[in-house]
Amino acid sequence: MELQEKFDAVIAHHDRIEPRDWMPDGYRRTLIRQIAQHAHSEIIGMQPEGNWIGRAPSLRRKAILLAKVQDEAGHGLYLYSACETLGISRDELVELLLSGKQKYSSIFNYPTLSYADVGTIGWLVDGAAICNQVPLCRTSYGPYGRAMIRICKEESFHQRQGYELLRTMMSGTEEQRAMVQESVDRFWWPSLMMFGPPDTESPNSAQSMAWGIKRNSNDELRQKFVDMTVPQADALGVTLPDPALTWNDERGHYDFGEPDWAELTAVIRGDGPCNAQRLAHRRAAHDDGAWVREAALAFRAHEDGTAPVVHDAADAFGDRS
Protein backbone atom coordinates (compact mmCIF):
# COMPACT_ATOMS: atom_id res chain seq x y z
CA MET A 1 0.00 0.00 0.00
CA GLU A 2 2.79 2.36 1.00
CA LEU A 3 4.73 1.55 -2.18
CA GLN A 4 1.67 2.13 -4.34
CA GLU A 5 1.09 5.51 -2.64
CA LYS A 6 4.68 6.54 -3.21
CA PHE A 7 4.41 5.52 -6.88
CA ASP A 8 1.13 7.44 -7.28
CA ALA A 9 2.69 10.55 -5.72
CA VAL A 10 5.63 10.46 -8.16
CA ILE A 11 3.21 10.15 -11.10
CA ALA A 12 0.96 12.93 -9.75
CA HIS A 13 3.96 15.30 -9.44
CA HIS A 14 5.14 14.45 -12.98
CA ASP A 15 8.43 13.19 -11.51
CA ARG A 16 10.32 10.22 -12.88
CA ILE A 17 10.08 6.57 -11.90
CA GLU A 18 13.57 5.01 -11.97
CA PRO A 19 14.54 1.35 -12.53
CA ARG A 20 15.04 0.49 -8.84
CA ASP A 21 11.78 2.11 -7.73
CA TRP A 22 8.77 -0.05 -7.00
CA MET A 23 6.23 -0.02 -9.83
CA PRO A 24 2.97 -1.87 -10.50
CA ASP A 25 3.29 -4.94 -12.76
CA GLY A 26 0.96 -3.40 -15.35
CA TYR A 27 3.11 -0.26 -15.56
CA ARG A 28 6.23 -2.39 -16.12
CA ARG A 29 4.47 -4.56 -18.75
CA THR A 30 3.12 -1.53 -20.62
CA LEU A 31 6.53 0.12 -20.70
CA ILE A 32 8.21 -3.07 -21.93
CA ARG A 33 5.58 -3.35 -24.69
CA GLN A 34 5.84 0.25 -25.84
CA ILE A 35 9.63 0.68 -25.53
CA ALA A 36 10.28 -2.71 -27.20
CA GLN A 37 7.92 -1.89 -30.08
CA HIS A 38 9.62 1.45 -30.42
CA ALA A 39 13.09 -0.17 -30.48
CA HIS A 40 11.96 -2.79 -33.03
CA SER A 41 10.54 0.03 -35.20
CA GLU A 42 13.91 1.77 -35.30
CA ILE A 43 15.67 -1.46 -36.28
CA ILE A 44 13.13 -2.59 -38.91
CA GLY A 45 12.88 1.07 -40.00
CA MET A 46 16.44 0.84 -41.33
CA GLN A 47 15.27 -1.41 -44.18
CA PRO A 48 13.06 0.83 -46.36
CA GLU A 49 15.69 3.56 -46.64
CA GLY A 50 18.62 1.12 -46.55
CA ASN A 51 17.17 -0.19 -49.81
CA TRP A 52 18.44 2.98 -51.53
CA ILE A 53 21.97 3.31 -50.09
CA GLY A 54 23.51 1.48 -53.04
CA ARG A 55 21.52 3.55 -55.52
CA ALA A 56 21.89 7.05 -54.07
CA PRO A 57 22.29 9.58 -56.90
CA SER A 58 25.50 11.20 -55.59
CA LEU A 59 28.26 10.61 -53.06
CA ARG A 60 26.79 13.39 -50.89
CA ARG A 61 23.34 11.80 -50.84
CA LYS A 62 24.87 8.41 -50.13
CA ALA A 63 26.86 9.75 -47.15
CA ILE A 64 23.73 11.46 -45.76
CA LEU A 65 21.61 8.34 -46.14
CA LEU A 66 24.25 6.07 -44.60
CA ALA A 67 24.50 8.38 -41.58
CA LYS A 68 20.72 8.52 -41.19
CA VAL A 69 20.24 4.77 -41.33
CA GLN A 70 23.09 4.35 -38.86
CA ASP A 71 21.37 6.82 -36.51
CA GLU A 72 18.24 4.63 -36.57
CA ALA A 73 20.35 1.66 -35.46
CA GLY A 74 21.67 3.80 -32.61
CA HIS A 75 18.11 4.74 -31.57
CA GLY A 76 17.19 1.06 -31.50
CA LEU A 77 20.14 0.36 -29.23
CA TYR A 78 19.37 3.14 -26.73
CA LEU A 79 15.80 1.93 -26.58
CA TYR A 80 16.73 -1.73 -26.08
CA SER A 81 19.01 -0.59 -23.24
CA ALA A 82 16.19 1.45 -21.68
CA CYS A 83 13.91 -1.58 -21.96
CA GLU A 84 16.48 -3.88 -20.34
CA THR A 85 16.34 -1.72 -17.17
CA LEU A 86 12.81 -3.13 -16.71
CA GLY A 87 14.15 -6.67 -16.23
CA ILE A 88 13.92 -8.18 -19.70
CA SER A 89 17.02 -9.23 -21.65
CA ARG A 90 18.10 -8.13 -25.11
CA ASP A 91 17.93 -11.76 -26.27
CA GLU A 92 14.32 -12.03 -25.13
CA LEU A 93 13.40 -8.79 -26.89
CA VAL A 94 15.02 -9.85 -30.16
CA GLU A 95 13.23 -13.20 -29.95
CA LEU A 96 9.87 -11.42 -29.40
CA LEU A 97 10.46 -9.41 -32.59
CA LEU A 98 11.69 -12.31 -34.71
CA SER A 99 8.85 -14.60 -33.61
CA GLY A 100 6.31 -11.90 -34.51
CA LYS A 101 4.99 -11.75 -30.90
CA GLN A 102 5.83 -8.06 -30.55
CA LYS A 103 4.93 -5.40 -33.06
CA TYR A 104 6.82 -2.62 -34.80
CA SER A 105 5.43 0.49 -36.50
CA SER A 106 3.04 -0.15 -39.39
CA ILE A 107 4.80 2.48 -41.54
CA PHE A 108 7.79 0.26 -42.22
CA ASN A 109 5.65 -2.33 -43.99
CA TYR A 110 5.29 -0.08 -47.04
CA PRO A 111 7.80 -0.28 -49.92
CA THR A 112 10.21 2.46 -51.02
CA LEU A 113 9.69 2.59 -54.77
CA SER A 114 11.64 5.71 -55.79
CA TYR A 115 14.47 7.86 -54.46
CA ALA A 116 11.91 10.53 -53.57
CA ASP A 117 10.71 8.10 -50.87
CA VAL A 118 13.94 8.78 -48.97
CA GLY A 119 12.97 12.46 -48.77
CA THR A 120 9.32 11.70 -48.00
CA ILE A 121 10.26 9.34 -45.18
CA GLY A 122 12.50 12.03 -43.68
CA TRP A 123 9.84 14.71 -44.01
CA LEU A 124 6.65 12.83 -43.14
CA VAL A 125 7.73 9.71 -41.22
CA ASP A 126 10.41 11.42 -39.14
CA GLY A 127 8.03 14.41 -38.84
CA ALA A 128 5.33 12.14 -37.40
CA ALA A 129 7.91 10.45 -35.18
CA ILE A 130 8.96 13.85 -33.76
CA CYS A 131 5.34 14.87 -33.01
CA ASN A 132 4.83 11.58 -31.23
CA GLN A 133 8.17 11.52 -29.43
CA VAL A 134 8.75 15.08 -28.19
CA PRO A 135 6.06 14.59 -25.49
CA LEU A 136 7.69 11.24 -24.64
CA CYS A 137 10.77 13.18 -23.45
CA ARG A 138 8.51 13.93 -20.43
CA THR A 139 7.31 10.35 -20.01
CA SER A 140 7.20 9.12 -16.43
CA TYR A 141 9.88 6.42 -16.80
CA GLY A 142 13.36 7.97 -16.49
CA PRO A 143 15.46 5.81 -18.87
CA TYR A 144 12.82 6.07 -21.63
CA GLY A 145 12.48 9.86 -21.30
CA ARG A 146 16.25 10.38 -21.35
CA ALA A 147 16.67 8.16 -24.42
CA MET A 148 13.94 10.16 -26.16
CA ILE A 149 15.72 13.50 -25.61
CA ARG A 150 18.70 12.41 -27.66
CA ILE A 151 16.57 10.58 -30.23
CA CYS A 152 14.39 13.63 -30.84
CA LYS A 153 17.40 15.83 -31.56
CA GLU A 154 18.54 13.37 -34.21
CA GLU A 155 15.03 12.91 -35.63
CA SER A 156 14.71 16.69 -36.11
CA PHE A 157 17.87 16.61 -38.17
CA HIS A 158 16.46 13.67 -40.17
CA GLN A 159 13.29 15.55 -40.90
CA ARG A 160 15.19 18.56 -42.19
CA GLN A 161 17.37 16.41 -44.45
CA GLY A 162 14.21 14.85 -45.92
CA TYR A 163 12.66 18.24 -46.54
CA GLU A 164 15.90 19.52 -48.10
CA LEU A 165 16.01 16.52 -50.44
CA LEU A 166 12.42 17.07 -51.53
CA ARG A 167 13.00 20.80 -52.00
CA THR A 168 15.96 20.05 -54.23
CA MET A 169 13.86 17.65 -56.31
CA MET A 170 10.97 20.13 -56.48
CA SER A 171 13.30 22.73 -57.98
CA GLY A 172 14.48 20.18 -60.55
CA THR A 173 12.77 18.74 -63.63
CA GLU A 174 9.08 18.09 -64.23
CA GLU A 175 9.83 14.38 -63.87
CA GLN A 176 11.46 14.92 -60.45
CA ARG A 177 8.49 16.98 -59.23
CA ALA A 178 6.13 14.22 -60.36
CA MET A 179 8.26 11.69 -58.49
CA VAL A 180 7.93 13.70 -55.26
CA GLN A 181 4.15 14.08 -55.64
CA GLU A 182 3.72 10.35 -56.32
CA SER A 183 5.77 9.53 -53.24
CA VAL A 184 3.81 11.94 -51.01
CA ASP A 185 0.55 10.43 -52.34
CA ARG A 186 1.67 6.96 -51.15
CA PHE A 187 3.07 7.99 -47.76
CA TRP A 188 0.52 10.55 -46.53
CA TRP A 189 -2.15 8.20 -45.17
CA PRO A 190 0.26 5.60 -43.74
CA SER A 191 2.04 8.49 -41.92
CA LEU A 192 -1.25 9.49 -40.25
CA MET A 193 -1.71 5.86 -39.18
CA MET A 194 1.62 5.92 -37.31
CA PHE A 195 -0.19 7.66 -34.42
CA GLY A 196 -2.28 4.53 -33.82
CA PRO A 197 -6.03 3.90 -33.94
CA PRO A 198 -8.51 6.70 -33.13
CA ASP A 199 -8.82 7.44 -29.39
CA THR A 200 -12.19 5.68 -29.26
CA GLU A 201 -10.50 2.46 -30.51
CA SER A 202 -7.26 2.72 -28.53
CA PRO A 203 -7.34 0.16 -25.69
CA ASN A 204 -4.10 1.31 -24.03
CA SER A 205 -4.31 5.11 -24.16
CA ALA A 206 -6.37 5.86 -21.03
CA GLN A 207 -4.21 3.80 -18.68
CA SER A 208 -0.94 4.87 -20.35
CA MET A 209 -1.94 8.51 -19.96
CA ALA A 210 -2.98 8.01 -16.34
CA TRP A 211 0.48 6.54 -15.66
CA GLY A 212 2.18 9.43 -17.51
CA ILE A 213 3.72 7.04 -20.05
CA LYS A 214 1.87 8.79 -22.88
CA ARG A 215 1.35 12.52 -22.44
CA ASN A 216 -1.10 13.00 -25.33
CA SER A 217 -3.72 10.87 -27.03
CA ASN A 218 -3.28 9.39 -30.53
CA ASP A 219 -5.78 11.84 -32.08
CA GLU A 220 -4.23 14.91 -30.41
CA LEU A 221 -0.82 14.06 -31.84
CA ARG A 222 -2.26 13.22 -35.28
CA GLN A 223 -3.92 16.67 -35.35
CA LYS A 224 -0.68 18.34 -34.31
CA PHE A 225 1.13 16.58 -37.16
CA VAL A 226 -1.47 17.66 -39.74
CA ASP A 227 -1.37 21.28 -38.51
CA MET A 228 2.42 21.30 -38.69
CA THR A 229 2.67 19.61 -42.09
CA VAL A 230 0.10 21.43 -44.25
CA PRO A 231 2.07 24.72 -44.41
CA GLN A 232 5.23 22.75 -45.14
CA ALA A 233 3.47 21.00 -48.05
CA ASP A 234 2.38 24.41 -49.38
CA ALA A 235 5.93 25.76 -49.17
CA LEU A 236 7.19 22.65 -50.96
CA GLY A 237 4.57 22.90 -53.68
CA VAL A 238 3.05 19.42 -53.23
CA THR A 239 -0.61 18.53 -52.77
CA LEU A 240 -1.59 16.35 -49.83
CA PRO A 241 -3.95 13.65 -51.16
CA ASP A 242 -6.96 14.52 -48.99
CA PRO A 243 -9.86 16.53 -50.50
CA ALA A 244 -11.28 17.05 -46.99
CA LEU A 245 -8.21 18.95 -45.81
CA THR A 246 -9.33 22.51 -44.94
CA TRP A 247 -8.58 25.08 -42.26
CA ASN A 248 -11.29 25.27 -39.61
CA ASP A 249 -11.31 28.76 -38.11
CA GLU A 250 -13.58 27.78 -35.24
CA ARG A 251 -11.39 24.91 -34.06
CA GLY A 252 -8.13 26.65 -34.95
CA HIS A 253 -6.98 23.43 -36.63
CA TYR A 254 -7.10 21.75 -40.03
CA ASP A 255 -9.98 19.36 -40.65
CA PHE A 256 -8.92 16.24 -42.47
CA GLY A 257 -10.36 13.00 -43.84
CA GLU A 258 -10.59 9.65 -42.07
CA PRO A 259 -7.63 7.29 -42.62
CA ASP A 260 -8.55 3.76 -43.74
CA TRP A 261 -8.53 2.08 -40.32
CA ALA A 262 -9.14 -1.35 -41.85
CA GLU A 263 -5.83 -0.94 -43.66
CA LEU A 264 -4.05 -0.10 -40.37
CA THR A 265 -5.58 -3.18 -38.71
CA ALA A 266 -4.47 -5.38 -41.61
CA VAL A 267 -0.90 -4.02 -41.56
CA ILE A 268 -0.65 -4.45 -37.77
CA ARG A 269 -1.98 -8.01 -38.13
CA GLY A 270 0.89 -8.79 -40.52
CA ASP A 271 -0.90 -8.40 -43.84
CA GLY A 272 0.79 -5.20 -45.08
CA PRO A 273 2.65 -5.04 -48.40
CA CYS A 274 6.08 -5.80 -46.88
CA ASN A 275 5.52 -7.44 -43.45
CA ALA A 276 6.81 -10.87 -44.50
CA GLN A 277 9.80 -9.40 -46.36
CA ARG A 278 10.82 -7.14 -43.44
CA LEU A 279 10.79 -9.95 -40.87
CA ALA A 280 12.50 -12.44 -43.22
CA HIS A 281 15.26 -9.91 -43.86
CA ARG A 282 15.66 -9.21 -40.13
CA ARG A 283 15.82 -12.96 -39.34
CA ALA A 284 18.45 -13.54 -42.05
CA ALA A 285 20.53 -10.58 -40.77
CA HIS A 286 20.27 -11.96 -37.22
CA ASP A 287 21.46 -15.42 -38.37
CA ASP A 288 24.26 -13.93 -40.46
CA GLY A 289 25.44 -11.96 -37.43
CA ALA A 290 25.62 -15.01 -35.13
CA TRP A 291 29.40 -15.30 -35.52
CA VAL A 292 29.86 -11.68 -34.38
CA ARG A 293 27.88 -12.27 -31.19
CA GLU A 294 29.79 -15.50 -30.52
CA ALA A 295 33.13 -13.79 -31.14
CA ALA A 296 32.20 -10.90 -28.81
CA LEU A 297 31.25 -13.34 -26.05
CA ALA A 298 34.46 -15.31 -26.53
CA PHE A 299 36.48 -12.10 -26.47
CA ARG A 300 34.82 -10.99 -23.24
CA ALA A 301 35.46 -14.40 -21.65
CA HIS A 302 39.08 -14.08 -22.69
CA GLU A 303 39.36 -10.57 -21.23
CA ASP A 304 37.70 -11.72 -17.98
CA GLY A 305 40.17 -14.59 -17.75
CA THR A 306 37.37 -17.15 -17.80
CA ALA A 307 37.21 -20.01 -20.29
CA PRO A 308 36.09 -18.88 -23.77
CA VAL A 309 32.38 -19.46 -24.18
CA VAL A 310 32.66 -20.41 -27.85
CA HIS A 311 36.04 -21.90 -28.76
CA ASP A 312 35.66 -21.71 -32.54
CA ALA A 313 34.71 -18.07 -32.43
CA ALA A 314 37.64 -17.29 -30.14
CA ASP A 315 39.93 -18.80 -32.76
CA ALA A 316 38.25 -16.80 -35.49
CA PHE A 317 38.81 -13.66 -33.43
CA GLY A 318 42.57 -14.23 -33.52
CA ASP A 319 42.96 -15.24 -29.88
CA ARG A 320 46.72 -15.82 -29.49
CA SER A 321 46.80 -16.79 -25.81
Q: Which residues contact 23 (CB under 8 A, 6 or more apart)?
A: 7, 17
The least distance separating ligand FAQ from the CB of residue 250, rounded to whole angstroms, comes to 27
- C-beta closer to ligand FAQ: residue 42 or 117: 42
Please report, as ranges, the residues that interact with ligand FAQ according to CB under 6 A.
Answer: 33-34, 37-38, 41-42, 45, 72, 103, 105-106, 121, 125-126, 129, 132, 193-197, 202-205, 208, 214, 218, 268
By Cβ distance, which residue is nearest to ligand FAQ?
Answer: 45
- C-beta closer to ligand FAQ: residue 125 or 179: 125
Q: Where are the beta strands (DSSP E) in the chain?
A: 246-248, 253-255
The least distance separating ligand FAQ from the CB of residue 106, rounded to whole angstroms, comes to 3
The least distance separating ligand FAQ from the CB of residue 38, rounded to whole angstroms, comes to 4
Name the DSSP class of 180: H
The least distance separating ligand FAQ from the CB of residue 152, rounded to whole angstroms, comes to 10
- C-beta closer to ligand FAQ: residue 34 or 298: 34
The least distance separating ligand FAQ from the CB of residue 27, rounded to whole angstroms, comes to 13
Q: Which residues contact 191 (CB under 8 A, 6 or more apart)?
A: 107, 124, 125, 127, 128, 225
- C-beta closer to ligand FAQ: residue 266 or 309: 266
For 66-94, b/e burial (b = at least 16 CB within 10 A) is: eebbebbeebbebbbebbbbbebeeeebb
Q: How far apart are CA 40 and CA 51, in angstroms?
A: 18
- C-beta closer to ligand FAQ: residue 124 or 310: 124
Number of helices followed by number of strands (H, E) in the chain: 15, 2
